[in-house]
Amino acid sequence: MTDVRIAGVGLTPFGRQSDRTGRDLFAEAALAAREEAGAPRDDFEAVHYGNFMGALAERQGHQGPLVAEAAGLDAPATRHESACASSGVAVREAVRGIRSGDHDVVLAGGMERMTNLDTAAVTESLAIAADELFEVRAGMTFPGAYALMARAYFEEFGGTREDLAHVAAKNHANAVENEYAQYRREVSVAEALDSPPVADPLHLMDSCPITDGASAVVLVSDEYAEEKGIDAPVAVSGTGQGGDKFALQDRKWLNRTPAAADAADEAYDDAEIGASDVDVAEVHDCFTIAEVLALEGLGLYGHGEAIGAARRGETTRDGRLPVNLSGGLKAKGHPVGATGCAQVAEMTRVLRGDHPNSDAVPDACVGVTHNAGGTVASAVVHVLEVRG
């Protein structure tokens, strides 16, 4: 099976960019990835693109060919929708297309434009990733859903709001030097604890922001990279996808994420590694409790063990397993359709050594990215490795 190399990555700054269109945002990220890769325009054989709420936020469907054109490409394009895991799925399908032998050069990425809507409209738009019939009509929002998950976690395993505040403080500290991050300022544990409540036990500083942004990667086969002399030291060595019951009330657990565990198992098996081989991770921390659940779903911690990881300094920049060196969704931002691919782009920069926080993991060879949809009814995990 051919290696899939990451030949180029592109990101827009994440944040409020409501004066720009979605196609403009994606063009910026895609053209940056293309320029870094150096692959000729005519060599691109497919575009895989993630977007969740464009039909609501921009009244624009059929975005695949639209963004391919914006990226300057004349290639078949597919839009993937899996809530906040949309571009994680897009990257996965691009990887699978190259591995199958169908393609040698593929552009994958995602975009979301959100701040042109007010907060109530964004909340309503995001809510359609939950069960309309049995959750949304009852008033469920994602802060409320993750609050339920946090309370179930605390009830079985223990933990406090202070443990979650350490997650927020850690990720904000990581975002300070990241030029693409939405919030490049430190947040203390005390500030996180004192922030306004959103849904008990979650407060404002436990929650990711509303964000505009785009991400893109150029993926190529190992053979293509060698033939064209492309320097692409990071490969996607493993990919996995998992699913769970759609609505929370139908699940066996509220405090575990089987979709993430299944995706991780598949990705690790694919890469022929184990969780103990992972040096650094980018995980889907839409809320601080989500980072805790992700670390346990990835097998990096046992059930009930990750809640104190940030407080103990294990997942901080200088810890044994740095998590979310980008700043995570919490501080870097969460343009939902762009997030999964952005994680891959950030991890690529970390492993190549050109990320502002690469010096925290100078010897890192194996990274894992974890992208979740909804209340983790969907999950995509990728293993990235430095290859010679």
233 preceded by cis ω (within 30°)? no
Mean pLDDT of 269-291: 98
Instruction: Write out pLDDT tens, residues 185-207.
Output: 999 999 999 999 999 999 999 99
Does the pLDDT of residue 264 top 90, yes or no?
A: yes
What is the helix, strand, coil percentage profile of the chain, to 5?
Answer: 40, 20, 40
How buried is residue 360: exposed, middle or buried, by Cβ count under 10 Å (0-12/13-18/19+)?
A: middle
Q: E-assigned strands of the chain?
A: 4-11, 46-50, 77-80, 105-112, 197-199, 202-203, 213-221, 234-243, 280-282, 366-373, 378-386
Q: Quote the CA–CA distance of 64 and 61 in Å, as a whole number.
A: 9
Query: What whole-number distance in Å separates Cα of residue 260 and Cα of residue 250?
Result: 17
Q: What's the mean pLDDT when you consider all of the chain?
A: 97
Q: For 178-191, what is the mean pLDDT?
A: 98
Dist CA 272 CA 238 (whole Å): 8
Which positions are catalytic? 84, 334
Q: Write the CATH number of the domain with boundaries 4-117+209-386.
A: 3.40.47.10
- Structural domain spans, the chain: 4-117+209-386
Mean pLDDT of 340-368: 98
Quick: pLDDT tens for 14-73: 999 999 999 999 999 999 999 999 999 999 999 999 999 999 999 999 999 999 999 999
Q: Is the pLDDT of residue 282 over 70?
A: yes
On the CB side of 88, CA atoms within 13 Å amount to: 33
Place of tokens 């490049």: 184
Centroid of chain to Cα 323: 12
**Confidence at residue 2, expressed as pLDDT on a 0 to 100 scale:** 78
Residues 6 or more apart whose CB falls under 8 angstroms from that of 350 comprise: 280, 325, 357, 358, 361, 364, 367
What is the DSSP secondary structure assignment for residue 84, as one 8-state letter? B
Under a CB-based contact definition with an 8 Å cutoff, are residues 91 and 382 in contact? yes
Please report the pLDDT score of residue 3 as a whole number.
87
The values of phi and psi at residue 59, to 5°, are 55, 40
Q: What is the mean pLDDT of residues 5-10?
A: 98
Q: Are 12 and 214 in contact (CB under 8 A)?
A: yes
Mean pLDDT over 293-316 rounds to 98
Least confident of 1-10, 319-328, 345-354: 1-10
What values do phi and psi take at 42, rounded to 5?
-70, -10
Q: How far is CA 69 from CA 26, 86, 262, 325, in A?
A: 10, 20, 35, 33
What is the C-alpha to C-alpha distance for residues 178 and 183, in angstroms, rounded to an integer?
9
80-136 tens-digit pLDDT: 999 999 999 999 999 999 999 999 999 999 999 999 999 999 999 999 999 999 999
Note the pLDDT of residue 1: 64
The residue among 368, 340, 378 whose CA lies nearest residue 111 is 340
Please compute, for residue 120, the number of CA atoms within 13 A of its CA located in the half-sphere on the CB side: 0
pLDDT of residue 95: 98
